[in-house]
Homo-oligomer: A and B are copies of this chain.
Amino acid sequence: MRYILEHFGVAVAAVTGVLAARGKRVDLFGVIVLAVVTAFGGGTIRDLCLGSAPVFWVQDPRFLLNAVVVAVATFFVARLHPFPVTALLVADAFALALFTMAGAEKALSLQASPGIVVAMGVITGVAGGMLRDALTGEVPLVLRTQIYLYATAALAGALAFVLLNCWLPDVRTNMIAAIVITLGLRLGAIRWKVTLPEFEPKPDTPEP
């Protein structure tokens, strides 16, 4: 189950990596690098912090094949038929939901405590996109208010997963429920432009 989630997540994250390269003067190989970093970043940090070495994509090289093939295909399709801007946001929402659950479930399977299960879910969900944005010189999506409850959706999904596991024994059903929660919150927040309170848009004192 986590294996399938992770393959789907890697594929959609690779798509977002390619789309984020739009207009950045990046060549084909740079696009593949961005796709792979986005697809593997979160899971790699999760595996390293949990002490699960070697990391998932070294243990199973099919993840690498998946990401590279999807990236190359997206690159050529996007050159022919430009995607709308919302395609990046929607693909990113799917990657967020799938990776969050893959991260939470892996931490749970390694007997981590509930707080760590939630944290690993959020980290796995958001880290790949953060690295992608750092490499393309954007303020990371996760830090911007106009991006509408990005990591909060991951947090809600991971919390729901931990709470559901207290009452319902079927981890697989709980994973699907949590994915629906994350995806629904994220897509709903994009659709209706919901935001959290913002931190001082205009500072009073000048920076040193």
Contact = CB atoms under 8 A, between A and B. Distances in A.
Interface of A: 18, 21-31, 33-34, 36, 44, 48-51, 53-55, 57-58, 61, 64-65, 75, 78-79, 82, 84-86, 89, 112-113, 115-116, 119, 126, 130, 134-137, 139-140, 142-146, 149-152, 155, 195-208
6 contacts: A22-B200, A36-B119, A50-B53, A51-B53, A61-B116, A64-B119
A57 B79 CA distance: 43
A28 B199 CA distance: 7
Contacts of A18: 199
Given A64-B115, A208-B89, A78 B200 contact: yes
Given A27-B197, A78-B199, A198-B26, A206 B85 contact: yes
A203 B49 contact: no
B136 A143 contact: yes
A152 B150 CA distance: 34
Given A27-B145, A29-B149, 4 more contacts: A18-B199, A30-B151, A30-B199, A51-B55
Contacts of A49: 44, 48, 53-55, 57-58
A116 B31 contact: no
Contacts of A24: 139, 143, 199
B29 A116 contact: no
A69 to B, nearest CB: 12
Given A48-B53, A64-B115, A29 B150 contact: yes
Q: What 7 A-B pairs are tightest by C-beta distance, nearest first?
A: A51-B53, A27-B196, A23-B203, A30-B143, A51-B54, A61-B115, A27-B145
B204 A29 contact: no
Contacts of A140: 135
Contacts of A53: 48-51, 53
